[in-house]
């Protein structure tokens, strides 16, 4: 993986003062309570219809005492749920990549949103950990065999596009305890349907094959995040659909009526 400077969050979260937030609430005792928290943003709660956070996290076997690592948290949709839920008994960690010195605007905006999420609660901010998402070696001294659950949500296609599937899955294996869980949610295109390059979609069998080849055992799948309205054949790939809506006002109502992408939801175990 490329040698760039650490994500902006490393610096912002380490030096920014705690700011009061009107939505701060008590630490949740259940996934349902975390999802229903009044401290979550309206932007994220609107996505629950398609992300199905309660069902998805229960399917992955999330428990409050676990050490959970989320790969590439983006703008923090899951961070908003996982970080408070795990603060009492467990551990929430973000595995973040290195980026160029002048990151694109969406990366800066995502880091701003992540910072805001963690600054709502001093205890959550203090306990959340950041680890480099790169091979464990002399430069990355992240502990091995410590995670109960690693989550990779809608990031597998990025590993493929960058030619980093093998190294990314090795990282997941290295940090997971023996027998622990890797949970993957990924934009899905139907088998036999022609895939446009760099569309963000992948075939389910393809993902299962790549992960099992890397030394994981495929345990099962769920249709929790399926969306039969998604035809997977859009001019800007998956980013044509919400929440990105890359085409702007062009056919906006059409794409909003489809909703977010059809997604595979897969469980693997470290052998």
pLDDT tens, per residue, the chain with 271 residues:
443 334 444 444 444 443 344 344 468 999 999 999 998 999 999 999 999 999 999 999 999 999 999 999 988 999 999 999 999 999 999 999 876 677 778 778 878 888 888 778 888 889 999 999 999 998 899 999 999 999 999 999 999 999 999 999 999 999 999 999 999 999 999 999 999 889 999 999 999 999 999 999 999 999 999 999 999 999 999 999 999 999 999 999 999 999 999 999 999 999 9
DSSP at 213: H
CA distance 247 to 228: 21
The predicted pLDDT at position 110 comes to 77
- Dihedrals phi, psi of 182, to nearest 5 degrees: -110, 120
Name residues whose C-beta falls within 8 Å of residue 146's C-beta, 6 or more positions apart in sequence. Answer: 67, 175, 177
Q: How many CA atoms lie within 13 A of 41 on its CB side?
A: 15
Tell me which architecture the domain covering 5-15+26-270 has in CATH.
Answer: 3-Layer(aba) Sandwich (3.40)
DSSP-H helix ranges across 36-101: 42-45, 48-51, 53-59, 79-86
Say which residues have a Cβ less than 8 Å from residue 141's Cβ, sequence separation at least 6: none
The pLDDT assigned to 10 comes to 46
């Amino acid at each position: 993986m490329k040698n760039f400077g650490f994500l902006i969050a490393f610096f912002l979260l380490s030096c920014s003062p705690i700011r009061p937030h009107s939505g701060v609430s008590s630490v949740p005792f259940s996934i349902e309570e975390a999802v229903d928290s009044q401290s979550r943003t309206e932007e994220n709660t609107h996505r629950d219809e398609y992300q199905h956070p309660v069902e998805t996290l229960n399917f992955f076997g999330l428990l409050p005492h676990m050490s959970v690592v989320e790969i590439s948290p983006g703008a923090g949709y899951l961070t908003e749920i996982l970080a408070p839920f795990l603060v009492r008994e467990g551990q929430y960690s973000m595995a973040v990549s290195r980026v160029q010195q002048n990151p694109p605007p969406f990366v800066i905006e995502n880091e701003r949103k992540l910072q805001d999420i963690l600054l709502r609660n001093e205890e959550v901010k203090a306990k959340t950990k950041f680890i480099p998402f790169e091979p464990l070696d002399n430069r990355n001294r992240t502990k091995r065999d410590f995670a109960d659950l690693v989550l990779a949500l809608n990031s597998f296609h990025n590993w493929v596009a960058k030619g980093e599937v093998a190294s990314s899955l090795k990282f997941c294996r290295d940090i997971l305890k023996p027998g622990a869980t890797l949970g993957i949610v990924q934009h899905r295109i139907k088998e036999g349907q022609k895939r446009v390059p760099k569309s963000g979609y992948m075939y389910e069998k393809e993902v299962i094959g790549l992960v099992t080849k890397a030394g994981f055992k495929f345990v099962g799948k769920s249709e929790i995040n399926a969306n039969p309205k998604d035809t997977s054949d859009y001019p800007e790939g998956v980013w044509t659909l919400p929440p990105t809506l890359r085409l702007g006002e062009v056919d906006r109502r059409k794409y909003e009526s489809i909703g977010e992408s059809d997604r595979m939801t897969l469980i693997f175990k470290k052998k």
